[in-house]
Amino acid sequence: MTYRSLFGEYLKTARRIDIVDPYVRAPFQIDNLLELIQTFREVSDHPEELSIHISTQNEDEKVPEMIDVFDGMKDELQGYGIDFSYDFKADHDRWIDTDNGWRIILSRGLDIYEKFDRFSLGNIRQNERRCRAFSVVYKRMA
């Protein structure tokens, strides 16, 4: 299971995605976010016109560290033509909204993979990773 197989068709014509996942904190969760962004770039009909916003949360004392991480991502992604923004206003629910009318409701957020070893193929390829139990609901918004 890959982000491409789960989300690719829904992201293809989108120019903007808004991600709500309160649990994007640890390095592996940041990696998951970057892998989703890369998937968005790869499947997009408009890879130079992408806008991505993440709403997450963290403990007050860790917010400055996450601001540094997200600002670094913003600078890096800008070089690829991606406008990246963030806030720390997420509650418990997790979803992705697209400007082409889809809401993708994620039971586990982006954290669908079991832990994998640094030297495993799963470290390089999502399709080599084992998945945790999760559900995804695709809802067409009016």
Mean pLDDT of the chain: 89
The pLDDT, as a whole number, for residue 137 is 94
pTM above 0.75, yes or no: yes
How many other β-carbons are positioned within 10 Å of the β-carbon of residue 90? Answer: 20
Q: Chain-centre distance of CA 15, in angstroms?
A: 14
pLDDT (0 to 100) of residue 108: 83
Backbone dihedral region for residue 70 (phi beyond 0: left; psi -120 to 50: alpha; all else: beta): alpha
Tokens (6 digits) for 130: 């084992």
Q: What is the pLDDT of residue 102?
A: 97
pLDDT digits (tens, 9 = 90+) for 29-74: 898 899 999 999 999 999 889 999 999 998 888 899 999 999 999 9
Q: What is the 3-state secondary structure (H, E, C) of the chain?
A: CCHHHHHHHHHCCCCEEEEECCCCCCHHHHHHHHHHHHHHHHHCCCCCCEEEEEECCCCHHHHHHHHHHHHHHHHHHHCCCEEEEEECCCCCCCEEEECCCEEEEECCCCCCECCCCCCCHHHCCHHHCCECCCCEEEEECC
Any residues with CB less than 8 A from the CB of 56 and at least 6 apart, and which? 20, 21, 22, 23, 24, 25, 66, 86, 87, 88, 90
| Residue of higher predicted confidence among 111 and 51 | 51
